[in-house]
Every structure is written in structure tokens, then in C-alpha cells.
Structure 1
Amino acid sequence: MNDSSYYLPAVAMAVATAVKSPALVRAWRDPLLRSVCTLLVLAGLVFFFAAPPTIAQVNHITGIPNVSAPLVYSLLCAFSASCLVLIINWRGGPPEVTRRLSRRWMAGYGVVSVSIIVLFALGRAPLERLRDLDTYYANTPFIREMIVLYLAALTVAGVAMNVMCWRWALQVHGWLRAGLLIIAFGFMFNIPYAAAKFTAVVARWNGHDLDYLSTDTAPVLASVGAQVSAVGFCVPLACQRIGDTWSTWSTYRRLGPLWRELKPVSAHADRTVRISWWSPAELQVTQRESDIHDGMLALYPYFDSEVRSDAYESAVAAGSEPGRARAEADAAMVTAAVRAKAADPEGRVISAADADAPAHAEGPRDLVGMSTALRQSPVVAAVRATTATRSESDFHEETR
């Protein structure tokens, strides 16, 4: 692997962390968000400090040959623990169980990291090795144990991640299952990575030279596995985000017929301050709903419960289910009220309502269902056609 193979993933992780930082500041108590950000930071640090130029620079700055080894190995252990903690928090469950499992994994890998540092301090590795420290010092007391310990820790993390991901994947569906299977596949690379390293180390113990497995093959496996796992973590989150955005825009579009129906009577139909077209979908839907509610407020004196009751009965008779029938009835009452208001330009019905304070019909509820009914329901179309011809004479009759 060349140096860019280390630094490019490190930069990508740094960018992802920067993107997530504002959300972390707003909700720093969220354990799942903290786990995601911790994983991104540690992944970036592993790639950065594992790059040979960085290894050489750290050794030079500290003045300790090969001090980068325990640093990188400890970061790998911390990264493994963060992956396990993320899966635990992502899966959810009773908070006390989640916290207990997370603390156990963190404590276990914390002990491993401390042991790695202690073993390095007890051993002697005076000659700097940027790429082949594991095999060069495979027979050195304490350094040998340090190498075996970190490889065993990575193997345990790979097996544990696979077990947890596969078990959880059997209980879920959709993009979450796809993401978990990708994560499991990525962490499976930990096993051949550790196997290649162990094979090269054991070969050195027996006087053979299989260093290429450690210096050439293993780093490629580790890089591929890490990038595949990163994709697995991103797939459910990204696809859920895309799905939520699509659903929000779909709601915005489906509210269109009702919004256009009420636009002429909305008190803010001619507002000069509008949000821009590139504003978030949630904000667009919020404004459209606000415009609809403004229109409803203006129509409130014109709502006729008899129109809604008759429309509901007609919709049920036509075969509509109760929920859909209620939406059709609400839409029929709204479209009748729009035409009633249009036939009352002087606002005499509103004046009469203020004076007599009658009990008005309950306001509509299912905005999306009403909007769909305005466009599709024959019951609403019939009410629209009927009220268009008689509303003006009826309201003159009522306000005499």
C-alpha cells in the first residue's frame, strides 16, 4: 500500500466527523451519536498514524524508536471497541443493559491497550521498522507478546462483530439488514488479516520468512475490510435519510391540491416573504401546512356539518373505508365552504356568526387524505358541482 491509501481514508473520516460535529454539539447526550462520532474519529486516527510517513515522524518527535507501534495498536483496539459499542447502542434495548455491555467492552479493550504499552516499555526495539515491525521483532521478548496480544484483540473484535451483526440481521429487514450484512462482511476481513499476520510471525518463530504476508497482504485486507465496514455503517443511515426526504417531498406534493384549493381564501396567500425553493423539505411542508391551516381558519364560519355528514354517507355507500370516507367528507365540507365564502364577498356570514356564536362544525384532521380526496373522490366532485350552482342563493337566504 502506498501512503495515499492511508491518508485518503483519514481525510474522508475527518470530513465525516466535521459534518457530524454540529449534531453532536446539539445532542451530545445521545449515546448513539457519540458512538458514531467516536468511531469516525478513531478510524481517521488509525489510518493517519498507521501511515509510514506519520510513523517515522512520531518516532522522530518522541525520540523513541518504534513508539508508533503501541500507539497504532492501541488505536486499533480503541477502534474495535468503538465499533462494538456502536452496534450495541444502535441495536438498542434496556438502557442499563446497553450501558453495562458498552462499559464491559470499553474496559476490556482499555486493559488490552494498557497492556500493549506496558509490554512495549518492557521490551527492546532499538531499530526503527516502518513496515515490518511485527515480523522483525517476532522473537523479541515482550515485543512478541505485544504483537500476539493486539492480533488476538482484533480477532476477537472481528468475531464478536460478526456474531452481533448476523444475529441482529436475522431480526430486521430492509436497509438496516443490508447494512448489517455489509458490516459483518467487512469485519470478516479481520480474520484473514490476523491469520496473515499470525502466519508470518509463527514462520519467524520457526526460522522461515513469510514476511510478505504481514507487510503486503495484511495491510490490503485491513484497508478493504475497514472501507467495506464503513459503507455498511453508512448504508442504513444514508438510505433512511433519503427515504425520509422522499417521504417528506411526497407529503408536500400530495398536499398540493388542498393547498391550491385554500390558497384564494388564505389570509397569507399574498405574503411577500416566502422560503426559498432550496429550503429543506421539512420546512417546505411546514409552510404548506401553515398556509392550509390559515385557509381553514378563514373558512371556519362557513363549515357545514350537514355537508360533511351527507358526504360521509355517500362515500361509505360508494364503498370507501371509514378513514377514507372521513377524509372525503372533510374535503367535501372544505370545498363547499370555499364556494360559500366566495359567494359572500361582504362577509355577512362571518358577521352573523360573530353575533349568534353558533356551534360550528369540527375542523378537518387528515390533511393528506383530504388533499387526495379533492383530486380523486367523485363524492367531492359532486359536492363541488352542486355548491357551485346554489351557494350564492343559499347564503343570501341565510343572512337576510
Structure 2
Amino acid sequence: MDGDDYYIPALALGIALVFKLPGMVRDWRDPLLRSVCVLLVLAASTFFFAAPPTIGQVNRITGVPNISAPLVYCILSAFSASVLVLLVHWRGGSPAEIRRISRRWIVAYGLVDVALVVLFLLGDAPVERLRDLDSYYANTPYIREMIVLYLTAHSVAAFGMTALCWRWSLQVHGSLRTGLITIVIGSLFNIAYGVTKFSAVFARWAGHDWDGMSSVVAPPLASAGALFSALGFVLPLVAQRLADNWHNWTVYRQLGTLWRELRAAVESGSPSVRISWWSSADLRITQRESDIHDGMLQLDPYFDPALRASAYDEAIEAGSDPRRARAIADAAMVAAALQARTADPEGKIISSAQAYTSKAVDGPRDLVRMSLALRNSPVVEAARRRAARSESGTHE
């Protein structure tokens, strides 16, 4: 494999990290998000530093032949630890338990990294090998142990991830299950990577040459394993974010009917604050709800509690549950108030009216249900027509 075969996965993982960085900056204290970012950094670093051009450059800069070997092995071991730590955070539990288990994995793989460095320093690897170091030095004292140690640590993490994620995937559904199965696929590739590497090393011990297993077959398996594993961890988080955004934009659209009905009242009072076109759905919902509440304050003198009570009874009789009936009643009251406000352009009613909003409503209004009721409730439409006829009769 040339450098591009390593740099392309590193770039893909780096792009995924860029998409996660804004959320990490906003909520650095979130351990799950922090773990995802650490995993992506380590996965991208593994491919970057394992690329033959990078290996050669690091060796030349340091002046130590094959110094890239313990560097790459340490990063790979740290990546294995980050995968296990992320799974611990993902599964959840008490904060104390999560910290305790995560600390154990970090310490264990930290000791592996220390051992890898010590074994490399004790060994002798004077001939630079960019692609086949594992098989070339398979019989060299201390370097041999370093190779076996990193492969064992990586394989343990791969087997553990496969077993844990498969069992967990049988208990959950949706995007979480899809993510877990994707991680299982990635772990199987990682297991296959370990098998091919071990095969080349064992073959050297037996006096055979299976170096192609290590230098040709194993690297693509590692690439696929890291990409599938990273995708599996990111997928549920992305799916949840998309679902939340879809829900927020749906709420924003559903509030549209009520907002448009009240916009005239809002514009007659304080003007709506303009927000940028790239603003999030959350911010847009907040502004739309603020405009609606401003409009309700403008209509406050025209609200009729008796009309609301009557509309509530009609909604209950029509089969609505109490929560929906309250929203329909509020919407009917708003529809009638809009008719009354239109018929009173000079605001003569305002000075003598009693405030209704702050006194007669039991709890906050369900603005989304109100907006939907304004659009399609027969009870609201009937209240609107009656109010229109009443105002027309008054002016006659």
C-alpha cells in the first residue's frame, strides 16, 4: 500500500472530527462527546503515522531507525483503549462506575504503551523497514516481544468489542443497534488484521515466509476496521442529532399557523427581532414562541373565558382528550379574539377589559397543539364564524 491508502482514511476521520469539534467546544464537559473526539483523533493519527512516507520522515527527523514502530504501536494501543472507554460511556451507568472502569482500561493500555517503548529500547532494529517490520524482526529479541505485545493488546480490544457490542445489539433497536452492528463489523476486520499479522510472525518463527500477510493483506483490513468502528460510534450520535433537528424544524413549522395568525397583533406592538438565515431551529423556535406570546399579550383584553369554556366542552364531547381539548379551547379563544381585535382598530375595548392571560389559564399553553387546532379543528372554525357574525351584527 502507498501513502494514499493510509492518508485517505486519515483524512476521512479528520473530516468527521471537524464536524464534531463545534459540539465539543460548546460542551467540553460531556464525557461521551469528548470520548468520541479522542477516538477520532487517535484513529486518524494511527493511519497518518502508519503511512510509509510518514514512517520514513519520522525516522529521518529523529535519526533513529524504526522509531516509528513504537510510536505507531503506542497510538494504536491508545486507540484500542479509547474504543473501550467510549463503549463504557456509551452504555452508561453511575458516574462513579463509568470513571472506575474507564480508568482501568486507560491504566492497562498505558502500561502497554510503556512496555512497548521499553522493549524497543532494549532491542536492536538497525535496518529501516517501512512496511514489513513485524515479520522482518519477528525473531529479534525484545523487538519480537514488542510486536507480540501490541498485537495482543489490539486483538484483546477487538475481541472484547465484538462480544460486548454483539450482545448489546440484541437488546436495543434503531440507530443504536445499527451503530453496534457496524462496530461489530469493524471489530471483525480488526480481528482479521491481528490474525494476518500473527500468521506472518508465526510463519517466521517456523522458518517460512508469509510476509505478504503482514505487508499487503493486513493494512487494508486495519483501514476497514478503523473506519467501520469510528462510523459505528458516530452513527447513533449523528442519527440522534438528525432526529432532534427534524423534531425541532417540525415544531417550528407547526407553530407557523398560530404565529401567522398573531403576527398582525405582534407588529402592532413591539417588532419581531430579526435573526440570521443560518440560525438554528432552536433559536428560531424561541423567537417564534416569543412572537406568539407577544401577540397573546396584545390580544389579552379580547379573550373571552366563557367562550374558552364552551369550546373546551365541545372538544370533549367530540372525543378529544383533556390536553388536546384545552389546546382547542385556547385556539378557539384566540380565533375569536383576533376577530374582535380586527373589529376594534382604535383599541376602545383595551381600557375597560380585564386581563385573562395571567389569571384564567391553568398552566402554560400548548402552543403547538393550539397552532394545529387553528388549522384543522372544527370547534375553532365554528368559534371563528360565530365571532365574525357577532362582530358583524354589532356594527350593523
TM bin, normalised by shorter chain, reads over 0.9
Give the drift of 1:11: 2.4
Aligned to 1:282: 282
Instruction: Show structure 1 runs of 5+ residues with no match.
Output: none
Give % identity: 60
Aligned to 1:370: 370
Structure 2: how far apart are the matches of 1:197 and 1:63?
A: 27
Aligned to 1:334: 334
Aligned to 2:227: 227
Aligned to 1:140: 140
SS in structure 1 at match of 2:350: helix
Give the drift of 1:268: 6.2
Superposition pairs for residues 149-188 of structure 1, below 5 Å? 149-188=149-188
Question: Structure 1 length normalisation: TM-score?
Answer: 0.93
The answer to whether residue 126 in structure 2 is matched with residue 126 in structure 1 is yes
Give the drift of 1:220: 1.0
Q: 1:268 to 1:189 in 2, by over 3 A?
A: farther
Write the deviation string for residues 92-139 of structure 1: whole angstroms up to 9, x where unpaired. Answer: 110000000100000010111111111111111111111001111111
Structure 1: how far apart are the matches of 2:220 and 2:366?
A: 55
Structure 2: how far apart are the matches of 1:221 and 1:351?
A: 78
User: Aligned partner of 1:61: which letter?
Assistant: I
The answer to whether residue 360 in structure 2 is matched with residue 361 in structure 1 is yes
Q: 1:108 to 1:360 in 2, by over 3 A?
A: closer
Between stretches 360-369 and 123-132, larger displacement belongs to: 360-369
Superposition pairs for residues 247-266 of structure 1, below 5 Å? 247-266=247-266
Write the deviation string for residues 27-81 of structure 1: whole angstroms up to 9, x where unpaired. Answer: 2222112211211111111111100011111111111111111110010000000
Between stretches 259-268 and 190-199, larger displacement belongs to: 259-268
For the aligned residue pairs, the C-alpha RMSD in angstroms reads: 2.1
Structure 1: how far apart are the matches of 2:18 and 2:223?
A: 22
Structure 1: how far apart are the matches of 2:87 and 2:147?
A: 27
Q: Is the 8 A contact 1:78 1:110 kept in 2?
A: yes
SS in structure 2 at match of 1:110: helix
Give the drift of 1:345: 2.1
Give the drift of 1:267: 4.0
User: Aligned partner of 2:29: which letter?
Assistant: R
Superposition pairs for residues 295-334 of structure 1, below 5 Å? 295-334=295-334
Q: Is the 8 A contact 2:302 2:353 kept in 1?
A: no
Give the drift of 1:9: 2.1
The answer to whether residue 107 in structure 2 is matched with residue 107 in structure 1 is yes
Write the deviation string for residues 355-383 of structure 1: whole angstroms up to 9, x where unpaired. Answer: x9998532860111011111111111110
Write the deviation string for residues 244-289 of structure 1: whole angstroms up to 9, x where unpaired. Answer: 1211111111111111111121146784752244432222222211
Q: 1:189 to 1:358 in 2, by over 3 A?
A: closer
Structure 2: how far apart are the matches of 1:161 and 1:325?
A: 50
Structure 1: how far apart are the matches of 2:286 and 2:321?
A: 28
Structure 1: how far apart are the matches of 2:326 and 2:358?
A: 20
Q: Is the 8 A contact 2:39 2:230 kept in 1?
A: no
Between stretches 64-73 and 384-393, larger displacement belongs to: 384-393
Aligned to 2:212: 212
Q: Is the 8 A contact 1:303 1:361 kept in 2?
A: no
Q: Is the 8 A contact 1:182 1:229 kept in 2?
A: yes
Aligned to 2:45: 45
Q: 1:358 to 1:145 in 2, by over 3 A?
A: closer
Q: Is the 8 A contact 2:36 2:233 kept in 1?
A: no
Structure 2: how far apart are the matches of 1:24 and 1:276?
A: 23
Instruction: Show structure 2 runs of 5+ residues with no match.
Output: none
User: Aligned partner of 1:244: which letter?
Assistant: D
Structure 1: how far apart are the matches of 2:372 and 2:215?
A: 64
Q: Is the 8 A contact 1:112 1:153 kept in 2?
A: yes
User: Aligned partner of 2:258: which letter?
Assistant: L
Question: Structure 2 length normalisation: TM-score?
Answer: 0.94
User: Aligned partner of 2:105: which letter?
Assistant: W
Between stretches 288-297 and 265-274, larger displacement belongs to: 265-274
Structure 2: how far apart are the matches of 1:392 and 1:110?
A: 82
Structure 2: how far apart are the matches of 1:187 and 1:105?
A: 17
Q: 1:272 to 1:344 in 2, by over 3 A?
A: closer
SS in structure 2 at match of 1:350: coil
Between stretches 270-279 and 45-54, larger displacement belongs to: 270-279
Structure 2: how far apart are the matches of 1:277 and 1:268?
A: 24
SS in structure 1 at match of 2:349: helix
Structure 2: how far apart are the matches of 1:357 and 1:311?
A: 16
Q: Is the 8 A contact 1:112 1:149 kept in 2?
A: yes
User: Aligned partner of 1:67: which letter?
Assistant: I
Aligned to 2:91: 91
Between stretches 16-25 and 289-298, larger displacement belongs to: 16-25
